[in-house]
Structure 1
Amino acid sequence: MLTNSELVQRVTPHAKFLSRAGQKFFFKAMRLADVSATLDFAQKLKLRKRLDDLRTAHTTGVVLSEAQSQPCLDIAAQSGLVAMVELRISADELTRSRGWKSVVSRIAHTASIFARHPALAGYILDCEIGQDALRAGGLENARRRVRGVVKTIKGRAPEAMVGIKVRPETRALSILEEDFLYAEIPALKPVEIRDFVVALHNLAEARPVVIEFKDASPGQDEAVAVAFGTGAAGVVAPPVPAPVSHDWLGVRMMRASDVMPFVTLNGTCPPQPPKMPMVSVVICAYDAERTMRACLESLRGLDYGNFEVVIVDDGSRDRTADISMDFPEFRLIRQPNKGLSVARNVGMQAARGEIIAYTDSDCVVDPHWLTLMVRSMIENNFDGCGGPNYAPHEDGWIEASCAASPGAPCHVLVADDRAEHLAGCNMLFSKAALAKIGGFDPQFTSAGDDVDICWRLLEAGFKLGFSPAAFVWHFRRNTVKSYYGQQRGYGRAEAMLHQRYPERFNAIGQIAWRGTIPGLARTIPGGSRKRVLWRTASAGAQTLFDPGLTLARVIPQTLEWTLLSAFALAASIVLGVPLIAAAAMLALGPIWALYYAWHAPLEKSHESFAARLLIAYLAYTGPMVRTMTRYKTRAKALTGLAGADGVRQRPTIDWLRRTVRLDYWNDESITRDRLTDRMLKLFARSGHSAIVDAGWNDYDLEVRPNPWTRIELKTADEEHEAGKVTNHVLARIKSTRITRLALAAGALSAAVAAIAGLPEIALGLGALTMAGAVCIAAEMAETGRIAHRATEQCATELNLAPLGVLVRQASGTQAVAAARKPAGAQLASQERTAD
């Protein structure tokens, strides 16, 4: 029947797009509404001619009803078109148990008949149900039944793709078992189409999106271009009706675009953006010979007409530079090893483009990466933009398991097309925006640079966008050793970021993202079900939300929870109380890890019990390694300040109010603002996160040296004649909320045990609580010592003379200043009662 071997190649999903014979394939399809289920020979010849004309007009596929599939699939194959077969399920069949088995049997029979047909690309399940009926019948019940149908089809036709046809009001029907997302939309404005496609992409994650326009419209050519320009892998469009002729002869010229919706694309898919500014792609490489050639080969194949590639070899010791020289069209810069951020800045300075794109040497870019990304930046006026990154195929199951484990680079979204964070392996920025904030911070040598640059851009008022179809393949750390090395790098970066952005971290030192990470919630118990907003401002539209990832949802995976559980278990053994509660607490961590492993996106070719078990092991231990490194990095930074010399005066300590007071004198008009600024910089350098008060509290700085205590620093000045100033500093030491809650919980438990007539348990719990209180008191004393030494160090740097009791013999100006001590300002009277 077929004479061209290319026509028998299957269409398969390949990340955000479709693939055929190893090449990207765009599904540009039409329905054959006027074709009956039975055709005679003449009708078949006529249909063959019609399909040939469609293919000539850049149409690549057709959508057939279940009845049309029998006569039309063979003819579509002869014309070189692929077909999607639509299988309909009525609302009654979906929501009622009666007759459901016959529906499944019918669909299974159809799937079996055409399972190996060369023209079959896949099946579309059209669930004809409205939003109200879906809500009344039960969303989870409907999804469970649809999931069963999808599994039935895959069992009968494993090579065929399966998608569920959703509408704006039934997007919640989408399930993870689909191979692609298929959505029908009404006539919308171009901006609305773009927003709809972007929302579908985020719902689809690493799967293609196919759009069907329900009705023809005069602006359909633009609508098709917008859909493909936003990253749709396929569009199903009706023929555009010809306008009524008003010529007195009734004669008009026919255009192909009047009846065929894909002619105006002229085979270009996706269409190029309206403007094509020059883009400089910067690759920072260090010992990257394993992936360097594949990376540069993919850049050579970019479908964008105005770009350059700048390679910064950051002191590689392998063949990275030699491989780069095999690509003479790219510029190579070699430098001694100075770290990732310096290399990124070097590439920025050497770039000639007005947009700078960063990807990593272990990435392979999609051919339309820049086309889609630049279009998003231009249409939305973004100053920066990013996209997703996906793990490519791995040959071994260990490599695949490491790639599927948590901790890979990811994006954080605050809206469907707005980002709080962009992954460093896939991000674009305008050169002007980078230059305005001073480029990347050189202290981030291997990780954390992308988080820092995004937060600084946002704080400077720039807009960060997200283009969900502009993806790159990112080779993950594919050995257990390298995986742990990556987690340690992230831990060090988090400790460094905590110094600068303490307000963006939660109580135990984790980054408290303000947005969501698509797909992450379902890997956590209780997060698999999306929240559905059934009624919105747009009539008939349905909005889906991932559950918020609060600390309570992820705390069993933390090191702090594991240590607390182990302590509770040991205490239960010592006190002779039942171990059930403590053992249950300790078991939550492994349970969370097993849940992640069960839902992790592992390749089917590597699916095995051993692979899932390795993922669970890494999911449990990886966060521990990351957290321990974070604490070690912060502790290392803290030791420098805690042991600083140069203390000149003894502080005035109010033990009841937990305050430390220091006073200074200067005759150079040095005010408290300069002292506060110097202290802020010192705390940042030493690893103590400090927050400047916005004016709502009675202190100037809040310092967070550890999870258990806080320092509230308050300053005041007394001005004297001839520019002489007395500076007063009051440091108030407070416990954190988590500390107070822990002590209160211990005391309450001891009280409950005593009331219940369990004196031994009450005594043990009381002793533990007292021991904890003593430890907290010691920690608060150490915090006060830190506040004392930091204040003294900053005062010394500013040449402020101490006015208190001197620790050692003062000389010169200090002795004179001490003798002329003026009356102190009444700072203590201004403070609030410490709680």
Structure 2
Amino acid sequence: MPGDPERGPVSVVVCTLGREPRLRGTVRAVLDQTHPDLELVVVDNDPASGRTAALLSGVADERLRLVTQPTRGLSAARNAGLAAARGGVVAYTDDDAVPDPTWIAELLDVLDADPAGTVACVTGRVLAAETATAEQEWFEDAGIFDKGTERTVWALDPAPSGLGTPGTHSPFFPYTAGEFGSGNNMAFRTEALRAIGGFDEALGAGTPARGGEDLDIYRRVILAGRTLVYTPSAVVRHHHRESTRALRVQMFGYGVGMAAGLTKLLAHGGRPALAVLRCVPRGLHMLLWPTSARNAKLPAETSRLLVALELAGYLAGPLLYARSAARVRSRRRAPRGAVEGGRR
């Protein structure tokens, strides 16, 4: 697909602590995209360790840039990538994920079909890179990342026509936001993401809130009156957690992140807070009732401990969000930003 001179290159951002040896595979998969007009911004979120630079040594491609962000947290790292992005579209994937060769081309196909610019965000399908362990197989069967095979348009009524099937508005729309996509496969019009302030640095991995920054940004896109499209043809393959311990930590973190994002809405007040409060009875039923629509979809062999850990995360989320938000406030006046390193 030829580049759009007005849009410029697509900026792909991958954030890392340098602990994931699969990072080199992620980098190679991005650089091997069928859409060649791109830049790859790798954000080193632990630059003092030197691990990321070591992992990328020997990768010779002028499209690759290394940016450092010493402030720990996935949202801070993603915002550093956003600040460094030169393209009109910025896409995100993770250092334990492998995009299919047509990933960027398929994301752009949605944006190119929307000349009016109402679509601010496009998410894609996330499938297992492998199911070599029982834990990986459970995660894939639970459908936590995979949002299905139908292109779906999410917006406040009325949804734009011609872009896909309008998403069904549940009583929780758009506040839970889990049906919109996953943070390891998403792209934004750069100006739209900057206009809503980027990612909330009180949320996400590496903060006390542990997650939820992707769901928060999806909510904010919708509440800002913009459109989000999920397209299953833009595929990323993710290496799910391989061990029981890692999966347990992940499920607890998901509960914390969801509750933290909802706590943020309540703390900010206004119509969203009232809407969330009205959803509390339904939400408790969804989480606790064994035959609820959510729980009925879980694989039959789901461990009670996994469910309990996620629920424990929901209980801990409000306190952990308060702690995380306080940390952000305490450093608000401190110098911040990314320092761009040389090309590697």
Q: TM-score, normalised by structure 1?
A: 0.31
2:327 matches 1:327: no
Q: Which residue of 2 aligns with 1:393?
A: 130
Q: CA deviation at 1:499?
A: 1.9
Which of 573, 578, 597 is the equivalent residue of 2:299?
Answer: 597
| Structure 2 partner of 1:438 | 197
Report what 2:234 is aligned to.
Answer: 470
Contact 1:417–1:467 under 8 Å retained in 2: no
Report the counterpart of residue 44 of structure 2 in structure 1: 313
Do the aligned partners of residues 311 and 510 (structure 1) sit closer, same or farther apart at CA in structure 2, a change above 3 Å counting? farther
Report the Cα distance in structure 2 between the residues aligned to 1:321 and 1:510, rounded to whole angstroms: 44
1:337 deviates by 4.6
Q: Is the Cα contact below 8 Å between 2:138 and 2:299 reproduced in 1? A: no
Structure 2 match to 1:339: 73
* 1:408 corresponds to which of 144, 150, 158: 144
Residues 283 and 311 in structure 1, CA contact (< 8 A), matched pair in contact too: yes
Aligned counterparts of 2:65 and 2:50: Cα–Cα separation in 1: 19
In structure 1, the partner of 2:280 is: 507
Q: 1:353 aligns with which of 87, 94, 102?
A: 87
Give the equivalent residue in structure 2 for 1:372. 106
What SS is found at the alignment partner of 2:229?
A: strand
CA distance in 2, matches of 1:311, 1:418: 34
**Shift in alpha-carbon separation, 1:275–1:292, aligned structure 2, 3 A:** same
Task: Report the Cα offset of residue 296 of structure 1.
Answer: 1.1
Residues 402 and 483, structure 1, Cα contact 8 Å, conserved in 2: no
Measured at CA, do residues 634 and 335 of structure 1 come closer, stay the same or move farther in structure 2, by a change above 3 Å? closer
Aligned CA distance change for structure 1 residues 490 and 509 (closer, same or farther; 3 Å): farther
- SS of the residue aligned with 2:234? coil
Q: Distance in 2 between matches of 1:637 and 1:286?
A: 22
Residue 363 (structure 1) aligned to one of 89, 93, 97:
97
Deviation at 1:336, TM superposition (A): 2.1
1:23-68 alpha-carbon deviations (Å, 9 max, x no partner):
xxxxxxxxxxxxxxxxxxxxxxxxxxxxxxxxxxxxxxxxxxxxxx
> 1:633/1:371 Cα in 2 relative to 1: closer, same or farther (>3 Å)?
closer
Task: Write out aligned runs for 1:701-712 (5 A).
Answer: none
When the two chains are superposed, the root-mean-square deviation of aligned CA atoms in Å is 3.1
Runs of 4+ displaced beyond 4 Å: 273-276, 410-420, 508-511, 635-638
Secondary structure at the residue paired with 1:429?
strand
Q: Could you tell me the percent identity over the aligned residues?
A: 27
In structure 2, the partner of 1:451 is 215
Residue 225 of structure 2 aligns to a residue in which SS? Answer: coil
> Counterparts of 2:196 and 2:276 in 1: how far apart (Å)?
19
Q: Is the 8 A contact 2:2 2:37 kept in 1?
A: no
Q: Distance in 2 between matches of 1:465 and 1:438?
A: 20
Residue identity opposite 1:348 in structure 2? L
Q: How far apart are 1:409 and its partner, in Å? A: 3.1
**Secondary structure in structure 2 of the residue aligned to 1:443:** coil
**What pairs up with 1:543-554 in 2 under 5 angstroms?**
551=285
Give the deviation of 1:414 after TM superposition: 5.5
Distance 1:465 1:637 in 2: 28
Q: Which amino acid aligns with 1:431?
A: T
* 1:306 CA displacement: 0.9
- C-alpha distance in 2 between matches for 1:468 and 1:361: 21
Deviation for aligned residue 1:496 = 1.5
CA contact (8 A) 1:338 1:445 kept: no
Secondary structure of the residue aligned to 1:383 is strand
- Which gives a bigger RCO, structure 1 or 2 (Cα 8 Å, sep 6+)? 2
Are the equivalent residues in 2 in contact too, given 1:289–1:319 (CA < 8 A)?
Answer: no
- Where do residues 712-731 of structure 1 align in structure 2 (5 Å cutoff)? none
Aligned-partner Cα distance in 2 for 1:352–1:275: 13
What is the TM-score with the length of structure 2 in the denominator?
A: 0.71
Deviation at 1:300, TM superposition (A): 1.9
Alpha-carbon separation, structure 2, partners of 1:635 and 1:627: 14
Q: For 1:597, what is the secondary structure of its paired residue?
A: coil
CA change 1:448–1:393 in 2 (3 A) is same
| Cα distance in 2, alignment partners of residues 364 and 388 from structure 1 | 12
Quick one: which of 248, 253, 257 aligns to 1:489? 253
Aligned to 2:310, which of 626, 629, 632? Answer: 626
Q: Tell me, what secondary structure is at the counterpart of 1:469?
A: strand
Deviations 1:4-36, CA, capped at 9 Å, x for gaps:
xxxxxxxxxxxxxxxxxxxxxxxxxxxxxxxxx
Quote the residue 1:282 is aligned against. Answer: 13
The 8 Å contact of residues 408 and 476 in structure 1, kept in 2 or not, is answered as: no
Q: Deviations over 1:430-476 (max 9, x none)?
A: 11101111111110131111111111111111111122201100111
Provide closer, same or farther for how the CA distance between residues 403 and 291 of structure 1 changes in structure 2, counting only shifts above 3 A.
Answer: farther
Task: Give the secondary-structure state (helix, strand or coil) at the position aligned to 1:628.
Answer: helix
**Number of aligned residue pairs:** 279
User: Contact conserved, 1:364 with 1:474, CA < 8 A, in 2?
Assistant: yes
CA-to-aligned-CA distance 1:202-226 (integer Å, 9 cap, x gap): xxxxxxxxxxxxxxxxxxxxxxxxx
TM-aligned CA deviation for residue 304 of structure 1:
0.6
Residue 359 of structure 1 and its aligned partner are, at CA, apart by: 0.7
Letter in 2 for 1:358: Y
Contact 1:341-1:449 at 8 Å conserved across structures: yes
Q: How far off its partner does 1:399 sit?
A: 4.4
Please report how far the alpha carbon of residue 407 of structure 1 lies from its aligned counterpart in structure 2 after TM superposition.
6.9
Q: Distance in 2 between matches of 1:286 and 1:315?
A: 5
Contact 1:288/1:362, CA 8 A, preserved across alignment: no
Gaps of 5+ in 2: 155-163, 168-176, 206-210, 266-272, 327-344
- Check conservation: 2:127, 2:146, Cα contact below 8 A: no
Counterparts of 2:194 and 2:12, CA distance in 1: 16
Offset at residue 324 of structure 1 (A):
2.1
Counterpart code for 1:440: F
8 A Cα contact 1:402 1:478, kept in partner:
no
The residue that corresponds to 2:159 in the other structure is: none
Query: 2:306 is paired with a residue of what secondary structure?
Result: helix
Distance 1:498 1:470, change over 3 A: same
Once the two structures are TM-superposed, the CA of residue 273 in structure 1 deviates from its matched residue by: 6.8
Report the CA distance shift for 1:457/1:637 in structure 2 as closer, same or farther (over 3 A).
closer
Please tell me the residue identity of whatever aligns with 2:80.
V
Alpha-carbon distance in 1 for matches of 2:19, 2:321 = 31
Contact 1:304 1:370 in 2 (8 A): yes
SS at match of 1:633: helix
Whole-Å separation in 1 of the counterparts to 2:183 and 2:309: 22
Q: Distance in 1 between matches of 2:94 and 2:45?
A: 12
* Partner amino acid, structure 2, of 1:340: L
User: CA separation in 1, counterparts of 2:54 and 2:75?
Assistant: 23
Opposite residue 289 of structure 2, the aligned amino acid is: P
